[in-house]
Each structure stands twice: as structure tokens, then as C-alpha cells.
Structure 1
Amino acid sequence: MSDTWEIFAIRYADRIDRWRKDSFIMDDDHASKHPMDFFIWIIKNETRTILVDTGYDKDEAKRRNRPIMDNPVSLLADFGIPAETIDDVVVTHMHYDHAGSLADFRHAKLYVQPSELEYVTGPCMCHDLLRFPFSEDHICEVIRSLYLGNVEFCDGSREIAPGVEVHLIGGHTRGQQCVRVRTRRGWVVLASDSSHYYENYRSGKPFPIVVDMEETLAGYDILRRLADSDQHIIPGHDPLTRKWYPAIPGGNGEIVMLHADTTE
């Protein structure tokens, strides 16, 4: 089995009604628009496919008044990967935009940090501010998978497959994890929300939603240690990703190849 993988970022939603103050702490420019893209990620080689995060569906979009282009499950099927063919799902953290649609993957193994499950089912969720980014339906789906025997706890760092690793970072949530992937251009790190934008980790300006600021800042150093360079770190929500990486041939520009060389 090959330990070299391809990575595809699939955009399923965006938000253009945002400002820089929504994205950065300690930023002097609060008057400029700052859009956000929403992605799920596919890691695949000739024998195996791993899904990183599951996005959120149209029901959740309606509840939160945050429209999406299409359900992530439908976009995966359009890409030639039906949900029922995916056996492994890495849940980087359980915020609504990363752990929705889990009911469609109840058959799959979910790779999560035990600290994340403890966080979302513990006393921190008594606080409205910390609870808001989560959906109780999504958390219940993780519990259902746990009782079905389909949750794999990573507890720090763990190899999911040769050339695919997860690493606990924390900060954004207690169990925020990143995914390190060996590609033809070297070790690429899917930061997910340990850095929402390139500017977060490159300028040391954290995203405002954090549970632990010290862990968030230390996480930027972890990303750099794991990746071959700054050009090998992929943040969770930056529209620049679709500008700097090539789209799949014949696509509509919503799916880009992160194993390809960047044009940055």
C-alpha cells in the first residue's frame, strides 16, 4: 500500500458578510470585509479514501441562517465518492461546520480526540458562548457511533494509515486536531481550525473563538514543526486556498488539489 496520498479540498459554503474583526484578535483594520470559505477534505490513494470533517447540511444551514451551496454528502457523490464507500472519517473538532452530516457516516470509523468528547459533554457546555458553535444533534451522532463501536480515540498523536497522522493541538476547542499527510510534494498539514486563515498562524493573530489562548498560539508552532514549510500548511477556511491551488480538471473551481504545487 502506498504511503503517498492526494488531498482534495471541497468547498460547500461561504460567508461574504464578515469583517476582519470577525477573524483576528489584535488587528487594527476592522473596516475591511473578510470572507470565509467552508471546506471538507478528501485524502485518497489507489486503495483507500479518508474523509476529514463532514461539514453541515441544509437543515443546519436553515437553523443558523447560513446557506450552503449543497449538502457535503451530495458534493462527495458528485465527486465520485458516495458516503457509504467511506470507512474512515477524521473529525478535527465538533463545531457545527465540521461535524454535521455524521448520520450519513454512521457505518464509518470516527477518529476523535477523547478531550474533545469530554469537552462537548462536560461542564464547559453550560456556558452559552462555548456551546453556541456546537449542535446537540451532531454530538448525539458521535455518541451513537461510540455505542456502535465506531469511534477510534486518538489521544494525542496517532497514525491513521501509513502517511496519514492526526495530532492534538487544542486551543480552538479542547480536542482540536490537525491532519498530517504525506504527498508527492512533501508533508502537508490540514490545520482545520487550529488556524482558520493563513494570516492567523503567519502573523500570530488568533481567530476570536478560542477556549485556550496559550494552546492556540502554541499550536501555530506545532503546525510548522509538522509541515515541510509554511506553504505546506492549509488553514480551515481561507478563500486563498482556492486561489493558490489548482482546481480539478473539468470542475467548477470548488474542488482544488492540495497535493499539487502552490502558486503562492
Structure 2
Amino acid sequence: MRVHHLNCGTLRPFGGGLVDGRAGLLRKATMVCHCLLVETDDGLVLVDSGLGVDDVTNPDASLPRFFQRITQPVFEVGETAVRQVVRLGYRPEDVRHVVLTHLDLDHAGGLRDFPHAKVHVHAAEHRGAMARATAADRRRFRPAQWSHGPDWQTYETAGERWFGFEAVHELNGLAADILMVPLAGHTLGHTGVAVRTGPTWLLHCGDAYFFHGEPRSADDCPRGLRLFQRLVETDRAARLSNQDRLRTLVADHGDEVETISAHDPVELHRYQPQPTP
């Protein structure tokens, strides 16, 4: 399967190197919304959807002010998944499936742009997003982003084993080359999405980690980003345990599975084609 790596939302929070690890503190950092567009025999599959057209063209109606102040999004409609799908020569309706790591507003914003797609998500995540029982949930889960009434495909905790991870699911209507891998902690129903790319797998870890150094060392993460992860976590013990499991996966099976996170620009740059000098 061919995989396209898309940035579906640039974020420019304050903090410089405390957030992105580069030199300089008195500048805005750079973060991305790293999504995957997968060409399959069952049509196009979008893994996470970033910010959508409505989010960037009318942000005050869709994105809470606290999110705008903290993350400083770049409201560029050309970065939305649907516009990039069209630039690649496809139609929006060619995206038949959207697989979400979780339903945070910077991951589910593009759902409205693909109203005919099946939307795959962990059942615990779906329940939490629909209930919005806490103030934190009401900030992170935005019903406007699924007001079109998606064809939800939800998955409970039972499943198979995959490289030491339990309760891994194949997805309804898709071949076994795309799997949902539970990675709870950031949210209660947070998952990774594994995509087979020839002899190896690519594991999109969503927000299970934020910085490219973390899969190899718990200490390799800028202080500001480490603090941010703690502030937005739902279950600290589960989040840290799953980060440890990801480090074990990379150490033991790094030649079989590559990991990426949703917001690290270094990882995105690694996979995107670079201009010829």
C-alpha cells in the first residue's frame, strides 16, 4: 500500500526549544498534525484528520479560545486533509474510511470534510467524547466536528495480540493491513494505528508520545513538552506504561515496526519527499 504523509495543521505555540527541542527560547515552536493517507484496494483510508476546513475558516465557531491561545494554529485551508486529497488527484468521496487515534479536536476536525466515510474509533473514546462529562472533555471534544452524523465503527477491548500489544483489532470493511492498537492514557480510548507497508509496519501513535526521541529514551523530550503531556493526560499510569511498551517495541522490533507521533515535525520531515537541489 502507498502511504502519503500529510501535515493537516501547523501549530506555533510559544516556548521555542522548550517545546520543539531546537535552539532558542524566545520564539514560537513548530508542531504539526501528522496524518496518513493510505491507498488501499478498499479505497482511500485517512489516519487522523487534523484540522478541517470549518476549523480554519471559522475557528471561533469550532475551536475554543484556550486552544487557539495555547497552540497558535496557522489557519491555512490548503493544509486541510480534503484539500490535500484533491491536490493528489482524488475526490473527497474517494476517502471511504477515517481511522482516528482519538477524538481530540486537532485529530477529528477534518471529519466533516468526508461525510460519507466510515469513522473507526475505540468504543471507550467514542463514549467519552459523546458524554463530555468533565470540563476537560468539553474542551477537547467538539461535537460540531461530527455534527454531520458519521457512520461510526467502534471497537471494544477484546482483540488479538500484535508485537506484545493486546486487544488489537482488524477494522470493519478493511483488510488486515490496517490495525487499531490500544494505547490509552492521553485519553481513555486513545489508540495507535498500524499500517503494513510491505515487509514492515508503520505505527501511528497519535499522542501516545510527542517528541521523536521518546521512543528510545524517556528523558529525550523537551521540558515544556513533557509538562504539556502531563497537563492533557487522562490516565498517567496508563500513558507512561504504554510509552514504556513502545520503547520495548522499538528496541526489540525496530527493524519490523516504525513509530511516528502526531505532532513531531522531525518525523514528518523524515517521510515527506524533499526537493531536489
Could you say whether these structures have the same fold, taking a TM-score greater than 0.5 normalized by the shorter chain as the test? yes
Q: Among 131, 137, 146, which residue is 2:138 paired with?
A: 131
* Helix, strand or coil at the partner of 2:37: strand
Q: Counterpart of 1:192 in 2: which secondary structure?
A: coil
Match of 1:221 among 235, 244, 251: 244
The residue correspondences of 1:90-129 to structure 2 (distance < 5 A) are 90-122=99-131, 125-129=132-136
Gaps of 5+ in 1: 251-264
Aligned to 2:154: 153
**In the superposition, relative to structure 1, how do residues 216 and 239 fare at CA in structure 2: closer, same or farther (>3 Å)?**
same
Q: Distance in 2 between matches of 1:42 and 1:180?
A: 13
TM-score (norm 1): 0.76
Q: In the TM superposition, what is the alpha-carbon distance from 1:121 to its structure 2 partner?
A: 2.5
SS of structure 2 residue aligned to 1:49:
strand
Counting only pairs closer than 5 Å after superposition, residues 205-244 of structure 1 correspond to structure 2 as: 206=226, 207-208=229-230, 209-224=232-247, 228-229=253-254, 232-244=258-270
Judged with a 3 Å threshold, the aligned counterparts in structure 2 of structure 1 residues 128 and 199 are, in CA distance, closer, same or farther, namely: farther
Match of 1:60 in 2: 55
In the alignment, the residues of structure 2 paired with residue 186 and residue 75 of structure 1 have an alpha-carbon distance, to the nearest angstrom, of: 26
Q: Which runs of 5+ in 2 are unaligned?
A: 158-167
Tell me the residue number matched to 1:83.
92
Residues in 2 aligned to 1:30 and 1:176: alpha-carbon distance in whole angstroms: 32
In the TM superposition, residue 113 of structure 1 has moved relative to its aligned partner by 0.6
In the alignment, structure 1 residue 69 sits paired with structure 2 residue 95: no
Picking from 185, 189, 194, the partner of 2:203 is: 189
Contact 2:196 2:202 in 1 (8 A): yes
Does residue 163 of the first structure (1) align with residue 192 of the second (2)? no
CA distance in 2, matches of 1:40, 1:237: 9
1:199 aligns with 2:216: no
Instruction: Note closer, same or farther for the CA distance 1:184–1:53 as it changes in structure 2 (3 Å cut).
Output: same
Deviation at 1:47, TM superposition (A): 5.7
Q: Deviations over 1:15-62 (max 9, x none)?
A: 2333269759xx9x9947542112221122466421112222243232
Alpha carbons of 1:140 and 1:200: their partners in 2 closer, same or farther (altered >3 Å)? Answer: farther
Quick one: structure 1 residues 190 and 32, their matched pair in 2 at CA, closer, same or farther if it must change by over 3 Å?
farther
Asked whether the 8 Å contact 2:48–2:100 carries over to 1, the reply is yes
Number of residue-to-residue matches in the alignment = 235
Normalising by the residue count of structure 2, what TM-score does the alignment of the two structures yield? Answer: 0.73
Cα distance change on mapping 1:249 and 1:84 into 2, 3 Å: farther
Instruction: Write out per-residue CA displacement over residues 63-87 of structure 1, whole angstroms, 9 at most, x where no aligned residue.
Output: 2443332232111111123210111
CA distance in 2, matches of 1:45, 1:121: 30
Q: Secondary structure at 1:162's aligned position in 2?
A: coil
CA deviations on 1:112-138 (whole Å, 9 max, x unpaired) are 11100111123xx34333321221212
- Contact kept, 8 Å, 1:12 with 1:69, in 2: the verdict is no
1:175 equivalent to 2:189? Answer: yes
CA distance in structure 1 between the partners assigned to 2:245 and 2:89 by the alignment: 34
Secondary structure, aligned partner of 2:9: strand
Letter of the 1:6 counterpart? R
CA RMSD, 1 decimal? 3.0
Secondary structure of the residue aligned to 1:18 is coil
Q: Is the 8 A contact 2:53 2:110 kept in 1?
A: no
Q: CA deviation at 1:212?
A: 0.6
Residue matched to 2:4? 8
Q: 1:190-215 deviations in whole A, cap 9, x for unaligned?
A: 11111222234433265231101111
Out of 241-250 and 96-105, give the one that drifted further.
241-250
